[in-house]
Amino acid sequence: MAAYILRRLWQMIPTLAGVILFVFFLFKFFGGDPAEILGGLLATPEQVQAIRQQLGLNDPWYTQLAIFVKSIFTFNWGNSWATGEAISSIFRTRLPATLTVMLPILILETVLSIVAAMAVAYVRGTLTDRAIMVATTVALSISFLVYIIVGQWLFGFYLGWFPVQGWSDSFWTNLTHYAVLPIILAVFVSLAPYTRLYRSFFLDEINQDYVRTARAKGVSENRVLFTHVLRNAMIPVLTNVALQLPGVFVGSFLIETFFSIPGIGREVLLAVNRSDYPVIQAMTVYLAVLTMVINLTADILYRAVDPRVVLK
């Protein structure tokens, strides 16, 4: 296990180097001139040149690359070009709001989807199974934006059950008051695709030989599903959860924008609109690192879920 982890960490180095080079040259040669963007349409050539000098854009590209690499490993990205706020402060102050919303969404949608998929797999082939599959297909065809607009109108404006916008400095107030409606809507929307996906995982396992053998030995259907099928189907479920985890730390652009949640997702969207390159670069690189670490963690968890898995 230790040798496998060390080998995977070693393999991350060229991947990270490729990401760093790609992000740097993408913004350097294809992102437009930051000085002209920050100066605006009315800026004089002298003002644009002064901005370039201030940002260090007149330095050779290899000098800028060295500064870029140094900023990654020292976690010092400087300040936002648009607001002047330290990028480290942006991550530190916006991340708690994002996690307050996204972690409950991930936990609830995973647990409820597994339960729903197991229930549908249990009644596979029946009218209930077909009706649920039709309902999930219809739900998938509707945009998440529609759910947000209708949910805000129904539960916020018409019924008045939840606030539509707002945020506070209290974690408990945010979790139990302001984050309830976005969490409910996000979990409700995610149930349709994940129920269909996890149902397919369970049905694949139900058709395996070991399930027929267990039934032939007189094992009850409940034990077959919840002891044998569920455990063997957890590997693709873990894979899907691992794919969602990076999004937990980035946030949802739609949710954070429409509910005025001061999280990472809304900050990245504002940075894109402002052409705030340092914020976008920092988020891109750190998200790549986070994705690699989560993939490694998922591979290790495969072994914990199924001891037959061999890590090579």
| For the chain, domain boundaries | 87-305
Give yes or no for residue 207 having a pLDDT over 70.
yes
In this structure, what token pair is assigned to residue 170? 């209290």
Phi, psi of 197 (to 5 degrees): -65, -50
Which sign does the torsion angle of CA 158, 263, 257, 182 carry? Answer: negative
Q: What is the CATH number of domain 87-305?
A: 1.10.3720.10
Proportion of the chain in helix, strand, coil states, percent, rounded to 5: 80, 0, 20
Whether the pLDDT of residue 191 is over 80: the answer is yes
End-to-end CA distance of the chain: give it in Å, rounded.
9
**pTM (2 d.p.):** 0.79
Confidence bin at 42 (pLDDT 50/70/90): low
**Cα angle: 253, vertex 99, 73; to 5 degrees:** 90
- Residue 31: pLDDT band (50, 70, 90) is low
109 vs 41, more confident: 109
CA distance 49 to 36: 9
* In the chain, % of residues over pLDDT 90: 0
Mean pLDDT, to the nearest integer, of 233-239?
80
Task: Tell me how far apart the alpha carbons of residues 188 and 257 are, in angstroms, rounded to a whole number.
Answer: 19
311 — pLDDT class (breaks 50, 70, 90): low
CA–CA separation, 8 and 5 (whole Å): 5
**Residue 82: pLDDT above 80?**
no
Looking at residues 153-157, what average pLDDT do you find? Answer: 87
